[in-house]
A = this chain, B = another copy of it.
Amino acid sequence: MKIFSKWISLETQEKYQEIALNDFIEAIVFESRVSDGIVLIFSQHTTIGLYLSNNDKYLKDDLENFLDEKIPNDPNYLHNVYGGNNASAHLKNVLIGSSLTLAVNDGELLLGEWQNIFLGEFDGPRKRKILVKVVGE
């Protein structure tokens, strides 16, 4: 059994931003020398999300607009009234989620033709750290 862990550190630039993580995760899976197993991608933050989706700049804007329309940063959220100012980003995080579990098959990260791994920044710019843990043989 092999367990291999590595952190991805990055700085976001925008309030709302979508960042593709594929290259980072694929490199870590390669470095792990795990040929069959699973990969945990874990965010230790409460105002970003991790998700799989198409790498389409139009869809990126659609998701941003959808989330902002459904979960605007209403000043009446209690978290905002009492000084937090980012209740919207927290709620988006709860809905989108903070971790992903993917598969490694034949030494490679398994992703569908249209699938990409994204970090959704909901309250940037900030420094972010993502743990990647590969478990298998």
Contacts of A97 in B (CB 8 A): 51-52, 97
Could you tell me the dominant secondary structure of chain A's interface residues? mixed
Q: Name the one of B1, B59, B87, B131 contacting A87, with C-beta atoms under 8 angstroms.
A: B59
Instruction: Determine the interface band of chain A, counting residues with CB < 8 A from chain B.
Output: 35 or more
Q: Name the one of B54, B78, B95 contacting A58, with C-beta atoms under 8 angstroms.
A: B78
Alpha-carbon distance between A1 and B77 when the two chains are bound, in angstroms: 46
Q: Name the one of B81, B94, B131 contacting A103, with C-beta atoms under 8 angstroms.
A: B131
Task: Tell which of A8-16, A24-32, A34-42 binds the partner.
Answer: A34-42
Q: Name the one of B46, B87, B103 contacting A52, with C-beta atoms under 8 angstroms.
A: B46
CB-based contact B36/A3 at 8 Å: yes
